Amino acid sequence: MKREGLTIILSAPSGAGKTSLCRELFKIFPDIKESVSYTTRKPRPGEVEGEAYHFVSNEEFTRMVEEDAFAEWALVHGNMYGTALSTLEEARKKGVDLVLDIDCQGALKLKEQFDGGVYIFILPPSMEELRRRLESRSSDAQEVIDRRILRAADEIKESRWYDFIIINDDFDVACQELAAIVIAHRRKTFRMLEKVGKLFDI
Ligand code: 5GP
C-alpha cells in the first residue's frame, strides 16, 4: 500500500513568524517540500520564477480559475494567489509531504473540499508584540503597519477552526511544537503501513 503524502497548511498574520518557522521546518525535515503557488503579484527583487511562486498575468490566472486548475485561490492584499490542484494531487500520490503557506480564506476553501490536511495557525504572543515586530522589521509607513494590524485582528479570529494553534513567543519552543505536530501526523498508522510492510513482509 503506497503511503499518501501529508498536506500541511500553515496560516498566520503578517509578523507572526511563519516564514522563519517554515524555514526551520525545512531544515529539520529536508524531505518536506514547499508548495509553489501561482500569483498575479509582481516578483520582488531576488524572487525567481518557480521558486517561491509561479508569477502569472491576470489573464493566465483567470484562465486557470475557469479551467478549475486551482484547489483553492484567494485575493490577498490586492493580488490573486492560488494552489494548483495538480501540485496537491501529485504530492499526495507520490507520498511527498507538502507545506502550503496560504491565507485563511484559501485554507478554509481547502478544508471544506479536501480530506486529510493538517491545518496549523501561528499566532504572535500578543497584539502589542505583533505591532512591535512589524514596526521593527519594516520601513513601511505607519499607516501600512496600522492596516496590517487591523487585518491581523480579523485573521486571528479565523484561528478557531484550525486543527492546531502555535503561539510563537519563544521561537525554539514554537519550532519544537511545529515539528511535534508534523512527526505525530507522519507516524499515523495508515502512513506507516507501507514501511512496516516492507520491513516485516506483512
Ligand atoms: P506574499 O506576497 O507576501 O508572498 O504573500 C502574501 C500572502 O499570500 C501570505 O499570507 C501567504 O500566506 C498568502 N498566499 C501565498 N500563496 C497563497 C496561495 O496559493 N493561496 C492563498 N490563499 N494564499 C496564499
CATH number for 7-35+96-200: choose from 3.30.465.10, 3.90.550.10, 3.40.50.150, 3.40.50.300: 3.40.50.300
Structure confidence at residue 138 (pLDDT): 66
Per-residue pLDDT tens over the stretch 108-135: 999 999 998 999 999 999 999 999 999 9
* Cα–Cα nearest to 154, from 76, 60, 59, 84: 76
For ligand 1, the distance from its centroid to the CA atom of residue 202, given in whole angstroms, is 43
CB 21 within 8 A of CB 122: yes
- 184: its cell numbers: 505525530
DSSP, collapsed to helix, strand or coil, labels residue 32 as coil
Q: Residues with Cβ within 6 A of ligand 1?
A: 37, 41, 72, 74, 76-77, 81-83, 101-103, 105-106
In this prediction, residue 47 has a pLDDT band, given cuts at 50, 70 and 90, of very high
Q: Which sequence spans correspond to the domains of the chain?
A: 7-35+96-200
The pTM (predicted TM-score) of the whole model is 0.95
